[in-house]
Amino acid sequence: MPALKGFNFQGGISIIPEFIALLIALVMYTAAFIAEIVRSGIQSVSHGQTEAAAALGLRQKRVLNLVVIPQAMRVIIPPLTSQYLNLTKNSSLATAIGYPDL
């Protein structure tokens, strides 16, 4: 049972460096794909939409919340769903195949 002794937990789980390396690699790999999906989704919204919202007097934050993000979400959701499924697949493959090799 983990117990707090001073400034350190004693008796808890220990995470080995190989698992941390595997986790960091998986996070960095997936984060790059997700960032690209979000970037392309936001860029898919026409610049005229943001200009029209600004012409109506909306501030930049309101333009994003009311105009850009709702339109971008319909472009973002399908590939983002696929990427999360790939993350599930890749994490199981990484622990089954890559983890013992480290």
25-56 burial, b at 16+ Cβ within 10 Å, e below that, comes to: ebeeebeeeeeebeeebbeebeeeebeebeee
44 vs 15: which has the higher pLDDT: 44
Q: Residue 92's CB: how many other CB atoms inside 10 A? A: 10
pLDDT band at 15 (very low <50, low <70, confident <90, very high): confident
| pLDDT tens-digit readout, 25-81 | 999 999 999 999 999 999 999 999 999 999 999 999 999 999 999 999 999 999 999
**Average pLDDT estimate for 81-98:** 92
Predicted pLDDT at 24: 94
78 vs 5: which has the higher pLDDT: 78
Segment (H or E) for 17? helix 17-43
Predicted pLDDT at 97: 84
Residue 90, phi then psi, degrees to nearest 5: -65, -35
Predicted pLDDT at 14: 75
